[in-house]
Structure 1
Amino acid sequence: MYSRRAAGGVLALVTGAALLAGTAPAQAVAAEFPAGDEGYHTYAEVTTELQKAAANHPDIAVLSSVGKSYEGRELNLIKISDNAAADEGEPEVLFTCNQHAREHLTTEMCLHIVQRFTEGYANDPHIRSMVDGHVIWVVPNVNPDGSEYDISDTDYKYWRKNRRPVEDGKIGTDLNRNWGYKWGCCDGSSTRPASDTYRGPSAFSEPETQAVSRFVDSRAAGGKQRIKAHIDFHTYSELVLWPFGHTQDDTGEGMTAEENARFRDVGQRMAATNQYKAQQSSDLYVTDGDINDWMWGTHKILTFTFEMYPTSPFPGFYPPDEEIVRETTRNDAAVDILISEAR
């Protein structure tokens, strides 16, 4: 355990107040982050902020859910567009955060995106232009059960997986090894339920990956995927990663030289704005069943993982809350590049 003191298809659109109605009792509910890190947002606080964004900007923001977690929490989804209540056929962008429970800075990143594009719309012509020309979708908590469990006592638990029980009394599947494209193909995940990279008993065995993938599938109409670009935020290492993760080959089945060149170009341009390192995902290590391989391999969505601050094991997964503003705004220009590539 880690002590800050010791170490230094979219569901029916609903109003914010209705989102939490009927939610099943959760097994671990965090009242607050460990002492000193209260600037981070718990699941309930994130939900409140999303409700405020939708209530304060009803013309451009609509709050809904892609489904429920294992413990019954809504997987909140917010849509931001100039006419959010309508389906205008504009190119769409998706941002997902917090697949891994202990990576709380990523939730702050998604919340920052929501607040930036809603609060800035009225007075910032650049933000207005991006919102007017796109649909921006944000899922701030893909793994709310795990993140609440990670902070449910006085110390962090270093918990990574979700909270669905598996075999032999073990709990949790690594959601970012549970996606269906090349699931379990290439020694990039574990078959051991005790492992942090346990991939689950089958592809899409987990309610969280099922819900997000159904939403993405639902955005394909007439054989054409409307979501054109995507970032999945993680911590840590300060990297911009692109597919594939399951193979170290740059090109091959599912990736032409031209497609790889576009990934490299966009990834390097984004990394130039935030001083991250840009590379193919498998150059770091081989993974299979991850979200980016599925997004590209199944839907040809221009998809990246951002490994956020820091670069080193300390403060690792738990940077002080004083770093939130600097490290989320650090990605503003990169987010804008990604949105501009949605076409």
Structure 2
Amino acid sequence: MALSVFLLLSISICFLVFLQDLLLSVDAQSYNQTQPSVTPIDYDLYHSSHNLMEEIRALVHRHPDKLTMETMKAANKGYGADITVVTYGKEKEKNDKRSKLRILLSFGQHGRELITTELALRILFILSEEKLLPSMDQASLNSVLDKLVIKVVPMENLNGRKVVEAGDLCERRNGRGVDLNRNWSVDWGKKEKDYDPYEENPGIAPFSEPESQIMRNLAMSFEPHLWVNVHSGMEALFMPYDHKNKTPDGLPLKHMKSLLEEVSHLHCQKRCMIGSGGGSVGYFAHGTATDFMYEIVGVPMAFTFEIYGDGTAPARDCFKMFNPTDFATYDRVLSDWSATFFTIFKLVPHQLGDYSKASIMKLDRLVSIDEYLDGYLMERRNRYGKKMEVLELGMQEIRTYFRLFLLSSVLLLFMFCSRISKSKCSRPIPSAIPL
């Protein structure tokens, strides 16, 4: 009897285990069928970061009369970054650049947005005349470009791009997990209710990241008349502000809005959203590059362009969401948006008129001692090629001495006040005057 019960229990347990395994197998198959596959990077369409930068170096080498290139380096707390800057400008005299309209373009600020760096390469090919714009007469284009100096940052976030290429296709932040488009000082650090640290980590302080430090110093030394920060995720032409539902007032708004409306009419076929970043996207972004460029650097025309987005892509399929995955769409995006930029190059001089260096707004804010010294010493490092370890050590020493100076000043003041107080108390009390 006992043996029969034992056998019955054993058979029941085996059946339950079999049933559980069967249900798990069905669930797994159902899960795999409902979950979309993740699109990998198509290296037949896209350059790797290494190959793209090598192609740019070769392009600059072939056209030294039109293009020059420099690599700017910075580091902070053990984390370093390099940013390559390509300058287009046909200089006739040593100071010719200061008499021309100055344009600063940044691509690849978010690592997962590979299409933006491909656009940077296409624009450089057209500037070198190795590729032509079929929609624009080359002689007319050259006449426009002769009046401009254009600085192109083809890949602002090289470290973040390497993380994406290593397999994390949704990574937008830099090599240590900071969103470079939240690391600038205008309204830095404010977090909305839907704040996601994976997407929007602003860093431990404004300009804590070497990439942001380099871009800040580049902008403040170059003083551009036009800034465009190029992203993907949708199709849009944004002006300030990102951190509030408001646009600039008066003449700046008129100029920027007029330019964007004409660009949209010529190139967007009503696909592009136009307005302030904060008022159009549906959420506020704090500590962005474009708000800093407009408010602090005083760039008369500061924009964020979004050049592509696939709204049908699943949330986890980031490569497809931010980048075209077939050649026809890839080529269309690059052709349309490169034509857009050269239309802007043509329109900006008419929109701004005769903008001289003096017409650029200057800083009208208090700058912290740390921020001032960061900028000053980094500029000297870039000019004289000092090693970054020396810069970091020098910064630490200067800050330490400055704080010691403040502390010693307070102590000396305290001792001085105490001495005066004691001297008053120790005076002999005069005797009563006799009657």
Structure 2 gap ranges (5+) = 1-35, 314-319, 350-354, 356-435
Partner of 1:27 in structure 2?
none
Partner of 2:173 in structure 1?
161
Partner of 1:50 in structure 2?
56
1:307 and 2:306 matched: yes
1:124, distance to aligned residue in structure 2 (A): 1.8
Q: Distance in 2 between matches of 1:58 and 1:257?
A: 41
Distance 1:305 1:198, change over 3 A: same
Partner of 2:393 in structure 1?
none
- TM-score normalised by L of structure 2: 0.62
Matches within 5 A, 1:247-266: 247-250=244-247, 255-266=248-259
Partner of 1:277 in structure 2?
273
1:206 and 2:209 matched: yes
Q: Distance in 2 between matches of 1:313 and 1:68?
A: 39
Distance 1:311 1:92, change over 3 A: same
1:245, distance to aligned residue in structure 2 (A): 1.0
8 Å contact from structure 2 (residues 232, 306) kept in 1: yes
User: 68-77 or 49-58, which moves further after superposition?
Assistant: 68-77
Distance 1:321 1:114, change over 3 A: farther
Q: Distance in 2 between matches of 1:35 and 1:173?
A: 23
Structure number with greater CO (CA < 8 Å, separation at least 6) is 1
Structure holding more helix per residue:
2
3-state secondary structure, aligned to 2:128:
helix
Residue 51 of structure 2 aligns with an amino acid whose one-letter code is: E
User: Could you report, residue by residue, the CA deviation over 1:77-136 in whole angstroms, capped at 9, with x for unpaired residues?
Assistant: 000111299441211101101111100101111111111111259992133123211001
Q: Distance in 1 between matches of 2:200 and 2:297?
A: 24
What is the aligned counterpart of 1:181 among 183, 186, 199?
Answer: 186
8 Å contact from structure 2 (residues 101, 149) kept in 1: yes
1:157, distance to aligned residue in structure 2 (A): 2.4
1:59 and 2:77 matched: no
What is the aligned counterpart of 1:152 among 154, 166, 183?
Answer: 166
User: Could you report, residue by residue, the CA deviation over 1:255-274 in whole angstroms, capped at 9, with x for unpaired residues?
Assistant: 32322222221122222233
Distance 1:35 1:327, change over 3 A: closer
User: Could you report, residue by residue, the CA deviation over 1:309-336 in whole angstroms, capped at 9, with x for unpaired residues?
Assistant: 1251423123215133210111133212
Q: Distance in 1 between matches of 2:56 and 2:311?
A: 31
Structure 1 gap ranges (5+) = 9-33, 165-171, 220-224
User: 179-188 or 208-217, which moves further after superposition?
Assistant: 179-188
Partner of 2:6 in structure 1?
none
1:236, distance to aligned residue in structure 2 (A): 1.3
1:188, distance to aligned residue in structure 2 (A): 8.9
Partner of 1:196 in structure 2?
199
8 Å contact from structure 2 (residues 103, 227) kept in 1: yes
Aligned residues: 293
Partner of 1:118 in structure 2?
128
Matches within 5 A, 1:1-343: 6-7=37-38, 34=40, 36-68=42-74, 72=80, 74-83=82-91, 86-88=94-96, 89=98, 90-119=100-129, 124-153=138-167, 156-164=168-176, 172-185=177-190, 187=192, 190=195, 194-219=197-222, 225=223, 227-250=224-247, 255-275=248-268, 276-283=272-279, 284=281, 285-301=283-299, 302-314=301-313, 315-320=320-325, 322=327, 323-339=329-345, 340-342=347-349, 343=355
1:141, distance to aligned residue in structure 2 (A): 0.7
Residue 305 of structure 1 aligns with an amino acid whose one-letter code is: T
Q: Distance in 2 between matches of 1:97 and 1:150?
A: 15
User: Could you report, residue by residue, the CA deviation over 1:286-307 in whole angstroms, capped at 9, with x for unpaired residues?
Assistant: 1111111001001221111111
- TM-score normalised by L of structure 1: 0.78
- Report % sequence identity: 23
Q: Distance in 2 between matches of 1:144 and 1:287?
A: 22
Distance 1:51 1:102, change over 3 A: same
Distance 1:243 1:146, change over 3 A: same
Distance 1:76 1:238, change over 3 A: same
Distance 1:243 1:188, change over 3 A: farther
1:37, distance to aligned residue in structure 2 (A): 3.3
8 Å contact from structure 1 (residues 75, 141) kept in 2: yes
1:186, distance to aligned residue in structure 2 (A): 6.8
1:73, distance to aligned residue in structure 2 (A): 5.0
